[in-house]
Amino acid sequence: MKLLLTEDSQRLRTTLKHGLQGAGFTVDAAADGMEARGLLQAYDYDLVVLDLMLPRLDGIGVLRGLPPRGRRPRVLVLSARDQVGDRIEALNAGADDYLIKPFSFDELLARLHALARRPQEAQPDVLELGALRLDPRARQASVGGTPLPLTPREFALLALLLRHRGRAFSRAGILERLAGSDADVSDRSVEVLVHGLRRKLDAAGLPGLVETRRGAGYLIP
């Protein structure tokens, strides 16, 4: 699950980024509204955690710049502004939820997971293809009931390809979705990742599940 964290406090931004990554999110972080807008234009995100009082462009401006439909992330506003009017303004501008500072990190996670269960298009909680079964919430994979041991990135890649069957993802696209825009990783790491996933799928009796389309990338047809 790819998330954009926008918070101008460096200390809180660093703490939240570390905690969210530990909870399994792929996190990009922005320190102001203009940086957030640039990242939202360049990359696809599933979730956004957004402060309202931001330099250069405030959170309401970021919300109003999001597309009204289509591939639009769910937005949780995280703000010290606690008046009813502030919440109404943010929700009317396109926020999906509103959490007031100070807050419990566990509550933040619970709200993000709740938002993640409301995708833009109805999708099953469990991904299945033949004998293959993936439960993204429990982070469990199995083939014919037998556990399939995957690393976190192998699991994330397989879930990505299953959710978007028939769509080819380039190496750059996979890096952006799984590693984050600021990660220090290379195209070679994607090759190693795909090779490792294919090896485990082959051993589980699912050879050839992940295909390579020349000039397009990797996909599950």
- Write out pLDDT tens, residues 144-185: 999 999 988 898 899 889 988 888 888 888 877 776 544 555
The rounded distance, in Å, linking the Cα atoms of 154 and 91 is 36
The rounded distance, in Å, linking the Cα atoms of 93 and 33 is 15
Structure tokens given for 59:
């959170």
Count how many Cα atoms sit within 13 Å of the Cα of residue 72 in the half-sphere of its side chain.
16
Share of the chain above pLDDT 90, in %: 57
- Write out pLDDT tens, residues 91-109: 888 899 999 999 999 999 9
* Nearest residue to 75 via CA among 56, 54, 94: 94
Domains and CATH numbers, the chain: 2-117 (3.40.50.2300), 123-219 (1.10.10.10)
Residue 175 and residue 190 in contact, taking contact as beta carbons nearer than 8 Å? yes
